Structure 1
Amino acid sequence: MSVSAGAAQTHDERVAPTPVGPATASVVARPVDGAEWDAVVSGFDGLCQEQLFAFASIRWPGVTAEPRLFERHGRVIGGALVMVQRLPLGVGQIAIIKWGPMLADTKAADAATLYQAMIEALVAEYADERGMMLSVLPHASTGEGNSEYRALRERGFKRGAVLRFPDRYLVNLRLSDEAQRKSFGQTWRRQLNKSEKSGLVFEHAGAERIGDFKALYAAMSDRKQFPDYSAFDTLDALMVLDQPLRPELFFVRREDELVAGALIFKAGTRAVYLYGATNDKALPLRAGYFMHWHIIRWLRDHTRASWYDLGGTDGFQGLHQFKKGMVGDEGLIRPVPPVANFATRPLAYALGAGAFAAREAYNELRRHIEAVRPSRARPDQEPSPLPPEFR
């Protein structure tokens, strides 16, 4: 069955559910279209915006997005949005899964077994049957070690590329106000106290205010001169989604002027800081401290998220200090594991690994070009050493 680039199989093209593998006979893989996929996974514990069809179809227009739901005993237990990338000259294809496969219930007693079953289903279809290299990037873990990456390596996946600055900063959302403030780093808490004396007002805004945020973001980008590799062009598609998938918009103002804003993805059990923006008055007012403090409280009181994922730092020491102080004693700083790659056929692995190596070389060249531009901010953070399980 063929599908056009950037599109999933339509509702009318769905194939019958097929059990996969004798070891995972109770797991059924079912292709679905993009609309059904986004609707079903909106209730998954493990959901993140990169696994949404509405996001992926715009962010990566040159790939074919193939949503797959997994069922056990007639019940959906998880899924994966697989992005199939054609290699140059048509020599092959790579199946890429970023932050997946996702579990519907991450706290299920058999969650580890279900994750392994989904991996088996993906190996059976993409590596065994269709002859591709399967490339999986798991989340940074909130538990001890990274069980998903460990399961992939035990299954025979090989270590692939590593993010240059892999640490992710996770705030614990299940604390009282008193415990949360106590958790913050001493400097962070002191700056928050000062911000609360600056006449700032926190606002939770509707999607109709997205234009105000875009204006604030554009002005900040021009001022700071950070290289922007984000998925900002997906914002309009995300803001028209139904709840709970639509990101939440927050502002901080002083008198009649907006000084800071943020967009937060809050579906699932891990809320994610997508974008933030400030004007030139935000720093002396310490508006970032004020805004994040109120976002943390809002997420705790209005969502089921346990963690607030602040993302990484892109190598900037100032961001590291700010996020580390917010994570505090009760939060976590955990690295994203390396990409894990698997292919049944040696040629498929060689072609896939070669394509990834070429992409990394291109990205490194782009970083060097950005570094020599006098107007660009330069990374100044030393990367943290990877834990032994990732080496």
Structure 2
Amino acid sequence: MSAIAGLVLDTTIAARHYAPDASEAVTLRRVEGRRWDEVAAGFDGVCQEQLHAFAAIRWPGVTLEAQLAERDGRIVGGALMMVQQLPLGLGNIAISKWAPMLADAQAADRQAIYAGMVEGLMAEYGRKRGMMLSILPHASVAPVNAEYLALRARGFRRGSPLRYPYRYLVNLQLSDAAQRQSFQQTWRRQLNKAEKSALSFEHGGVERLDEFKALYEAMSDRKQFPDHSAYDTLDVLMAMDQRLRPELFFVRHAGAIVAGALIFKAGERAVYLYGATNDQALPLRAGYFLHWHIIRWLRDNTRARWYDLGGTDGFLGLHRFKKGMVGDAGLMHPVPPVVNYAAHPLAFWLGSAAFAARDAVNGFKHRIDLLRPGRARPDQPLPELDDYLK
């Protein structure tokens, strides 16, 4: 079968498998933010971007609407929607990042549930309220992103892709021996050297957040990486319920902390949020030691199946480090482009114009970052997207 024929078949399968069944409809029910976070904590698909407490700090200019999805009397998922007002009050855009989420990613009816949630969002925001609905799916752990294909088959149009869309996913379902064998040879060799450097691994509690902050802020000043992260949400995240609270990890050498990381561990996909090192960490290969023990801790203490290392922001060194850790058993898959739907042509035009303006502003900021003296500059070649994402 040719590649193009395969993609057509994949789209057809996605459209059929994700087609909503009117006899078993998914209903959406809006809930307040605290209740949403409590329920979403148990979802397989939960992520920090879908937490009300996080989004309220990260995106203060939007209205947050938590939509809980139910089917046959059971909670099956949902989406935290960000409603952004357009300039001059011309309308609104409803944005869903990494959602709609599934409560049970292994459920036999998961495809129908996903389709039903999308259908409910289209009805509420697209048809009833006249907004453009914008959805950004996760990078898939499957070879083809069926959710993206299903959205396209349902009438969503392709929007802007991420500049560096690939995400690096470590398989957490392996034994120690199998995991080490999966690492690329260079990565494994560096880990072996790190283990001879008298390093120790520590799992820290929330009371040690200031230690991590000091390490992170010193590293940011030293390396001069442009930081567009949600670092200012750390205090809120660390004050959350234990199920949602990120975990802190440190590496110590000769009595001093040389490396640290903060990991979101809820759901099926643990996520590397922030990492920090000092000048001694590089020759000690502390980063290799740190991640090796984080992988083992996540496997033994959480229900996560994958460890999402995030992207690279265009830095080739990060790409090589993460690719080596992903190894043979992990995945390097792209986040698909955002997709947009509107029931009314004017809503689609206004929303598309707003996104185009945002992209232009972000592109200008990126160029300004490159002009600042001392700033680290991206050196990774722009990747090619998979054919079906174009």
Report the TM-score when normalising by structure 2. 0.94
Does structure 2 retain, via aligned residues, the 8 Å contact 1:262–1:273?
yes
Question: Does residue 226 in structure 1 map to residue 225 in structure 2?
Answer: yes
Pairing 1:142–2:141 present: yes
The residue that corresponds to 1:166 in the other structure is: 165
1:243 corresponds to: 242
2:260 partner SS: strand
- In structure 2, C-alpha distance between the alignment counterparts of 1:29 and 1:51, rounded to whole Å: 16
Q: What do you get for the CA RMSD once the two structures are aligned?
A: 0.9
Once the two structures are superposed, the pairs formed by residues 53-132 of structure 1 within 5 Å of their partners are 53-132=52-131
Which secondary structure does the structure 2 equivalent of 1:45 belong to? coil
Whether the 8 Å contact between 2:24 and 2:71 is mirrored in structure 1 is no
How far residue 23 of structure 1 moved from its aligned partner, in angstroms, is 3.1
State the partner residue of 1:358: 357
- In structure 2, the residue matched to 1:333 is 332
Task: Note the alpha carbon deviations across 1:233-255, whole angstroms, 9 max, x for none.
Answer: 01000001112100000000112
SS at 1:125 equivalent: helix
Q: Which residue of 2 is the match for residue 3 of structure 1?
A: none
Kindly indicate whether residue 268 of structure 2 is the aligned counterpart of residue 269 of structure 1.
Answer: yes
Q: In structure 2, how many angstroms separate the alpha carbons of the residues matched to 1:96 and 1:35? A: 20
Q: How does 1:4-23 map to 2 (within 5 A)?
A: 23=22
- Sort the Cα spacing of 1:24 and 1:241 in 2 relative to 1 into closer, same or farther, 3 A: farther
- Matched residue type, 2:69: F
Looking at structure 1, the residues matched to 380 and 361 of structure 2 have their Cα atoms a distance apart, in angstroms, of 22
Question: Is the CA contact 1:24–1:117 (under 8 Å) kept in the aligned structure 2?
Answer: no
Question: Which amino acid in 2 is paired with 1:352?
Answer: G
Q: C-alpha separation between the residues in 2 aligned to 1:366 and 1:233? A: 20
**Structure 1 unmatched runs, 5+:** 1-20
- Structure 1 partner of 2:348: 349
Q: What number of residue pairs does the alignment pair up?
A: 371
Q: Structure 1 CA distance, aligned partners of 2:100 and 2:363?
A: 28
Amino acid at match of 1:138: P
Tell me how far apart the structure 2 counterparts of residues 261 and 24 of structure 1 sit (CA, whole Å).
51
State the AA in 1 paired with 2:131.
M
2:7 maps to which residue? none
Residue aligned with 2:382, SS: coil
Report sequence identity in percent: 68
Supply the distance in 2 between the matched residues of 1:274 and 1:259 (Cα, whole angstroms). Answer: 18
Conserved 8 A contact 1:24-1:121: no
Structure 2 partner of 1:37: 36
Cα deviation per residue 1:113-139 (whole Å; 9 max; x = unaligned)?
A: 110100000000000000000000000
Q: Deviations over 1:132-177 (max 9, x none)?
A: 0000000000012001101100000000010000000000001000
Deviation by residue 1:167-203 (Cα, 9 ceiling, x = unmatched): 0000000100000000000000000000001111100
Aligned-pair CA distance for 1:204: 0.1
SS class of match (1:134): strand
Q: SS where residue 211 of structure 2 aligns?
A: helix
Write out per-residue CA displacement over residues 313-356 of structure 1, whole angstroms, 9 at most, x where no aligned residue: 00000000000000000000000000000000000000000000
1:380 aligned partner: 379
1:309 is aligned to: 308
Distance 1:318 1:73 in 2: 49
C-alpha distance in 2 between matches for 1:141 and 1:25 = 26
SS of corresponding position for 1:82: strand
1:5 match:
none
Alignment partners' CA distance in 2, 1:263 and 1:62:
26
Report the AA paired with residue 229 of structure 1. Answer: H
SS of the equivalent of 1:238 reads: helix
Aligned partner letter, 2:43: F
2 CA distance for matches of 1:351 and 1:235? 34
Please tell me the residue identity of whatever aligns with 1:134: L
Partner amino acid for 2:80?
A: L
| 1:234 maps to amino acid | T
CA contact (8 A) 2:21 2:112 kept: no
- 1:341-388 Cα deviation digits (max 9, x unpaired): 000000000000000000000000001111111210000001221111
Instruction: Supply the AA of the counterpart residue of 2:277.
Output: T
Q: Indicate if the aligned counterparts of 1:260 and 1:277 stay in contact, CA closer than 8 A.
A: yes
- Compute the displacement of 1:390 (Å): 0.6
TM-score, normalised relative to structure 1 = 0.94
State the shift of 1:26 in Å. Answer: 2.4
Residue 47 of structure 1 corresponds to which residue in structure 2? Answer: 46
Rate the CA distance shift 1:352–1:24 in 2: closer, same or farther, 3 A. farther
Take 1:346 and 1:242, find their aligned partners in 2: how far apart are those partners? 43
User: Partners of 1:182 and 1:24 in 2: how far apart?
Assistant: 49
Q: What is the CA distance between 1:206 and its match in structure 2?
A: 0.2
**Displacement of 1:25:** 5.6
SS at match of 1:161: coil
Separation (CA, whole Å) in 1 of partners of 2:332 and 2:247? 24
Query: 3-state DSSP class of the match of 2:266?
Result: coil
Q: Does 1:367 align with 2:342?
A: no
Q: Show structure 2 runs of 5+ residues with no match.
A: 1-19
Contact 1:99–1:138 (Cα < 8 Å) also in 2: yes
2-structure distance, mates of 1:254, 1:195: 11
Output the CA distance in 1 between the equivalents of 2:206 and 2:24: 44
AA aligned to 2:143 is: E
Distance 1:255 1:22, change over 3 A: closer
